[in-house]
Amino acid sequence: MAATAQLIDRFQRAGQGQVFAFFDQLTPAEQQNLLSEAGEIDLAEVEQLNRTLVAKTAGAVGVDLEGLAPAPYELLPANGGDAAAWAAAKQTGEAALRAGRVAAFTVAGGQGTRLGYDGPKGTFRVTPVKQKSLFQIFAEKILAAGNRYGQPLHWFIMTSHQNHVATEAFFGEHNHFGLDRARVHFFRQGRMPAVSFEGKILLETKSSLALSPDGHGGSLRALARSGALDVMERAGIDTLSYFQVDNPLVRAIDPAFIGWHLIKRSELTSKMVPKAYAEEKVGHFCTQRGKLIVVEYSDLPMAIQRETDAAGKLRYLAGSVAIHMLDRDFIRRMGQSAGDAGVALPFHRADKKIPTVDATGAAVKPEKANGVKFEMFVFDALPFATNPLVIEARRADDFSPVKNADGLDSPKTCREDQLRQFARWLVANGVSLPTDATGLPAITGEVSPWFGYDEDSFAASWAACAVKPAIVDGYYLT
């Protein structure tokens, strides 16, 4: 049988023949496209996901809460943590940066549907005065940290099939924001087919499948498959600083975080921030049967989320903010396919509105969820890591993502959090700047990462200014 007929036959035998319903109406090029997409699909995997995730309704999937306890974490000195240990961690991290052992890693393969912005999310402009894009902020932080430690950093950026070309073009148009382009590495993540609630692979058009990125957890295998780990190895990099493309506040390069990870010989270290309130929709760091895990808010009964200790403090306080430090060899182990003695991350089910075609081939834009996407989450790697560790971070220093067009975690809240951060740095260095009760200053302004990308670098630049700049509305420090 010719290869084409064989492929179609395999789909038919797997009960997925609908994928080729319009095949005879397609041009040869369209047929080729559909065949090549279909060739990417692991039908046995889809079958297994249908059985385990789709056939059961979401509510019926029991969540195992046996033996669950809040995860321990390293407290910040301000909250009772060991100041000497934090200082040692910082020194160790700085030494690793000087030795060129650390690279930055941004996951930027998401679809950003909630924000509703047309283009790669990293190209979205977020800063208060200069309207810099998310990518520009990270680029400048990475450049500035490279200067500070005398060792230019490599930056790995995971894209998706949808946004890869546009992402690379954006960097090209901006001359890579001054970075050495040989140190900026783009690679695509894998993709998965979406299925209907009956487990049938959906077509997006008559000649293409509804394919979507396989989740930020797909970054581990994408790092391995793309050769990024080999690049790291050749460059002497053993530690990857992982952050999300939508969080401009993140300390992309944080010496204390790096140092904790190295000193504790951890393969995967994560930052937590204390939940803002009991019902906050974040993942919770927990332990279960001797393993560190993240339990999503949707899987944790509200009564548990609200539990308090004798002092009235939330027991499950440690919220996950998707900031991690990863060991290269651990990624390699996790990135292998399960068949190669690797450990596969589990897939999660997400019910979504998936544009598709009807029985006549006409386009359908669903008003409500019509199918299921499959995604892996990077924090599911925690239970596989040796010496996994959680350290505390201040939300104001590290986390203000742009997720939604308005309301919570929107461009407005993120802009205000940037203004608060700049104001805190200024006030800590003796500037008098009126703010409201939330720390929001009355004036707008911006600090370039060149001038300061964290408290220390800001303080150093400020101290070096013989004549202090005037902090008036619209100020820009660079």
Shorter beta-carbon distance to ligand UTP: residue 213 or 259: 213
User: In this chain, which of 113, 298, 432, 438 binds ligand UTP, going by CB under 6 A?
Assistant: 113
Q: How far is the CB of 426 from ligand UTP (least distance, A)?
A: 29
Bridge pairing between strands 284-288 and 291-295? antiparallel
Q: What is the DSSP string of 261-317?
A: HHHTT-SEEEEEEE-SSTT--S-EEEEETTEEEEE-GGGS-HHHHT-B-TTS-BSS-
Q: How far is the CB of 110 from ligand UTP (least distance, A)?
A: 2
Roughly how many angstroms between the first and final C-alpha of the chain, as a whole number?
A: 66
Given a contact cutoff of 8 angstroms between Cβ atoms, the answer to whether 122 and 439 are in contact is: no
β-strand partners of 292: 287
Minimal CB distance residue for ligand UTP: 110
Q: How far is the CB of 235 from ligand UTP (least distance, A)?
A: 23
Judged by CB under 6 A, which stretch of 23-31, 52-60, 104-112, 302-310 contacts ligand UTP?
104-112
Question: If binding is defined by CB under 6 A, does position 348 make contact with ligand UTP?
Answer: no
User: In this chain, which of 103, 107, 326, 477 binds ligand UTP, going by CB under 6 A?
Assistant: 107
Q: Which of residues 221-260 bind ligand UTP (CB under 6 A)?
A: 244-246
User: In this chain, which of 91, 111, 435, 444 binds ligand UTP, going by CB under 6 A?
Assistant: 111
User: In this chain, which of 93, 213, 449, 452 binds ligand UTP, going by CB under 6 A?
Assistant: 213
User: In this chain, which of 49, 158, 250, 292 binds ligand UTP, going by CB under 6 A?
Assistant: 158
Question: If binding is defined by CB under 6 A, does position 349 make contact with ligand UTP?
Answer: no
Given a contact cutoff of 8 angstroms between Cβ atoms, the answer to whether 446 and 475 are in contact is: yes
Element (DSSP H or E) covering residue 95: helix 83-98
Given a contact cutoff of 8 angstroms between Cβ atoms, the answer to whether 392 and 79 are in contact is: yes
Question: If binding is defined by CB under 6 A, does position 109 make contact with ligand UTP?
Answer: yes
Opening angle at CA 194, ends 202 and 407, nearest 5:
120
Judged by CB under 6 A, which stretch of 108-116, 130-138, 363-371, 382-390 contacts ligand UTP?
108-116
Nearest to 239 by CA among 255, 216, 222, 221: 255
Long-range contacts of the stretch 52-59 (C-beta < 8 A, 24+) = 53/347, 53/348, 53/349, 53/372, 53/374, 54/195, 54/197, 54/199, 54/349, 54/372, 55/199, 58/349, 58/351
* DSSP-assigned letter for residue 347: P
Q: How far is the CB of 272 from ligand UTP (least distance, A)?
A: 17
Q: How far is the CB of 141 from ligand UTP (least distance, A)?
A: 16
Q: How far is the CB of 186 from ligand UTP (least distance, A)?
A: 12
Q: How far is the CB of 245 from ligand UTP (least distance, A)?
A: 4
Footprint of ligand UTP on this chain (CB under 6 A)?
Answer: 107-114, 121, 158, 189, 213-216, 218, 244-246, 375, 403
